[in-house]
């Protein structure tokens, strides 16, 4: 790098004056650092995917969730479970699960935790954040 000139403005702000080449070199280094961080993130994801700790979600599933379909139903169908089987695994009745999927009942936190565990999901994957959904659907 060439030399940089440091100075203070009349209001006390410290500034540095760089040559255009030095500036472009710094920008290039910052971009390379960002690329390396992105590559590391991808590497870690692929390791987790290979260990079964992550999964690839088909576009159809993502679109259904974005469109506001009930996440329990979307994930249940994606996992290939009948409502009866999911209810059995989660320790609830099939009728109650149906009411949750249709929105007739809200369900308790413990129920959602049981369903999330049965579907191999984080609780956040089932519980809608109303501020997020209102931002998507004004």
pLDDT-derived band at 3 (thresholds 50, 70, 90) equals: confident
Query: What pLDDT is recorded for position 133?
Result: 44
| pLDDT tens digits, 6-22 | 999 999 999 999 999 99
Confirm if 99 and 105 have CB atoms less than 8 A apart. yes
| pLDDT tens digits, 31-71 | 999 999 999 999 999 999 999 889 999 999 999 999 999 99
Helix (H) or strand (E) holding 105: none
More confident residue, 133 or 74: 74
CA distance 115 to 122: 10
Fold entry, domain 59-136? 434 Repressor (Amino-terminal Domain) (1.10.260)
């Amino acid at each position: 790098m060439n030399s940089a000139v440091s100075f203070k403005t009349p209001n006390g702000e410290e500034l540095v004056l760089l040559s255009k080449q030095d500036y472009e070199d710094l920008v290039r280094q910052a971009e390379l650092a960002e690329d390396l961080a992105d590559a590391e993130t991808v590497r870690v994801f692929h390791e987790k995917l290979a260990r079964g700790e992550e999964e690839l979600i088909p576009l159809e599933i993502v679109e259904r969730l974005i469109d506001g379909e009930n996440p329990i139903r979307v994930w249940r169908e994606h996992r290939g479970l009948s409502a009866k089987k999911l209810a059995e695994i989660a320790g609830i009745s099939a009728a109650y699960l149906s009411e949750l999927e249709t929105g007739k009942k809200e369900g308790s936190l413990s129920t959602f935790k049981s369903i999330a565990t049965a579907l191999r999901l984080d609780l956040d994957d089932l519980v809608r954040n109303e501020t997020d959904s209102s931002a998507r659907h004004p």
